[in-house]
Amino acid sequence: MRVLLTGRDGQVGWELERLLDDVVAIDRTALDLSGRGIAEFIASVKPEVIINAAAYTAVDKAEAEKDAAMRVNGIAPGILAEEAKRLGALLVHYSTDYVFDGEKQAPYVEDDAPNPLGAYGASKLEGERRIRASGCRHLIVRTSWVYGARGRNFFLTMRNARQPLRVVDDQHGVPTSSRFLAEHTVSLIDKKVEGLLHLVPSGSTTWYGFARQILGEKSAITPIRSSEYQTAARRPANSVLDNRKAQALLGGALPDWRSVLAAVR
């Protein structure tokens, strides 16, 4: 099965490339998703599966660069989808917990209404919409708080930070390792799963709880409120994704986020 993988140097793309056999893995220099030539490139590769692991992921910067975020996260996935449709290929695409506004008092299920608070979330939601509208075979995987042993992420930031630290304790989510995501994505493709899916480990925490789990109970970390840590983009107070549909499709319980973290260190 010939796979075209975008974002090969990203957190998830890097893990995926190592799990796939027949893969054409590309970075921005091979194909810039904010530019022209996407359709022609795909037509020349003729993949059976396209995995789009590339994205504009700078949540705060996106507030000042709305057009750039929309080109990569909103418009490009639509072009990938049109080409997937033309080829009869499956498009696997990642989306985000930040499509939700965080007002719900329980984990978000796939059918909950999105209402993004910021430009990043809005651009990712537009990507979802265009993929669905194309009518191509697709699997949209929403995930959250992605980290791993390489890349730019909260896990490495905490490990390299000098204590004492102040970390936000009123945003709830599910830390998800890039390897967890890549491994389960491959299983979902093998099982021919299509549609929209929330894929995260089980359980949930706050950024403060995540930091404590990374650095240990004796670490010097003070919990603070979001209002004490100003960022350009507003973030949802609750972006916990419900993974029960993924568990049913994958045929078993997904591990707790703490045991997924333990496997990364």
The single residue among 24, 78, 90, 143 that binds ligand NAP, judged by CB under 6 A, is 143
Question: Is residue 204 within the footprint of ligand NAP (CB under 6 A)?
Answer: no
The single residue among 10, 102, 114, 118 that binds ligand NAP, judged by CB under 6 A, is 10
Question: Is residue 12 within the footprint of ligand NAP (CB under 6 A)?
Answer: yes
3-state secondary structure labels for all residues of the chain: CCEEEECCCCHHHHHHHHHCCCEEEECCCCCCCCCCCHHHHHHHHCCCEEEECCCCCCCCHHHCCHHHHHHHHHHHHHHHHHHHHHHCCEEEEEEEHHHCCCCCCCCECCCCCCCCCCHHHHHHHHHHHHHHHHCCEEEEEEECCEECCCCCCHHHHHHHCCCCEEEECCCEECCEEHHHHHHHHHHHHHCCCCEEEECCCECCEEHHHHHHHHHCCCCCEEEECHHHCCCCCCCCCECCECCHHHHHHHCCCCCEHHHHHHHHC
Question: Is residue 28 within the footprint of ligand NAP (CB under 6 A)?
Answer: yes
The single residue among 4, 23, 54, 117 that binds ligand NAP, judged by CB under 6 A, is 54
Active-site entry in 56, 108, 120, 208: 120
Question: Is residue 140 within the footprint of ligand NAP (CB under 6 A)?
Answer: no
Question: Is residue 7 within the footprint of ligand NAP (CB under 6 A)?
Answer: yes
Question: Is residue 171 within the footprint of ligand NAP (CB under 6 A)?
Answer: no
Question: Is residue 72 within the footprint of ligand NAP (CB under 6 A)?
Answer: yes
Rounded to a whole number of angstroms, the minimum distance from the CB of residue 144 to ligand NAP is: 5
Q: In the annotation, is 98 catalytic? A: no
Rounded to a whole number of angstroms, the minimum distance from the CB of residue 148 to ligand NAP is: 8
Question: Is residue 53 within the footprint of ligand NAP (CB under 6 A)?
Answer: yes
Residues of the shown chain interacting with ligand NAP in the complex, contacts defined by CB under 6 A:
7, 9-13, 28, 32-34, 53-57, 72, 94, 96-97, 124, 143-146, 151
**Positions marked catalytic:** 120
